[in-house]
């Protein structure tokens, strides 16, 4: 008897196997459902009613939601469809409109920052992937007068 696995969870990333490639619909649905649950929204509302400032609510929002969204972001963000990015950005916009965040955070901003951090770490000599990078080239370009 063989069992066919359709969904696996790898370091808190939900991967759904389809016939063609990985589908991250389950991951996005899980992320949005987990963050928009009554527990997180209720906690933020209660903290706002307890007279926390917008800056303090922003700190709690970063600790609860953005930290989990940033976790392993370079691993799965490249596979997101445009509709999924719009869904996540719409959720972040709702958080901003409710007053739980000081700034409107976009998924594209988080993704580019995470990719830049990962690449900067890879460029370090002690990183395990550094040996897979091509050798650095230094071009000596001459300034051409106009």
Whether 53 is covered by a domain: the verdict is yes
Residue 113 belongs to a domain: yes
Residue 103: inside a domain = yes
pTM for the structure as a whole: 0.69
Domain span including residue 111: 25-122
Residue 107 lies in a domain: yes
Q: Is residue 84 part of a domain?
A: yes
Q: Using one digit for the tens of pLDDT, what is the confidence trace for 54-67? A: 899 999 989 888 88
Q: Could you report the per-residue pLDDT of 72-119, keeping only the tens digit for each?
A: 788 778 878 888 889 889 989 988 998 889 999 999 999 999 999 988
Token look-up 């370091």 returns 11
Query: CA-to-CA distance for 32 and 34, rounded, in angstroms?
Result: 5
Q: What is the pLDDT of residue 32?
A: 73
Token pair for residue 23? 């589908």
Distance CA 84, CA 13 (A): 15
């Amino acid at each position: 008897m063989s069992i066919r696995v359709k969904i696996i969870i790898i370091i808190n990333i939900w991967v759904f196997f389809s016939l063609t490639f990985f589908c991250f619909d389950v991951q996005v649905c899980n992320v949005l459902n987990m963050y928009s649950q009554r527990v997180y929204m209720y906690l933020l509302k209660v903290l706002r009613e307890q007279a926390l400032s917008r800056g303090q609510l922003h700190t709690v929002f970063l600790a609860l939601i953005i930290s989990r969204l940033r976790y392993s972001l370079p691993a799965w963000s490249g596979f997101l469809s445009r509709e999924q990015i719009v869904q996540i950005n719409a959720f972040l916009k709702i958080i901003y409109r409710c007053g739980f965040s000081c700034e409107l955070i976009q998924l594209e901003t988080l993704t580019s920052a995470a990719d830049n951090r990962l690449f900067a770490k890879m460029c370090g000599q002690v990183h395990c992937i550094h040996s897979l990078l091509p050798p650095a080239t230094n071009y000596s370009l001459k300034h051409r007068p106009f």
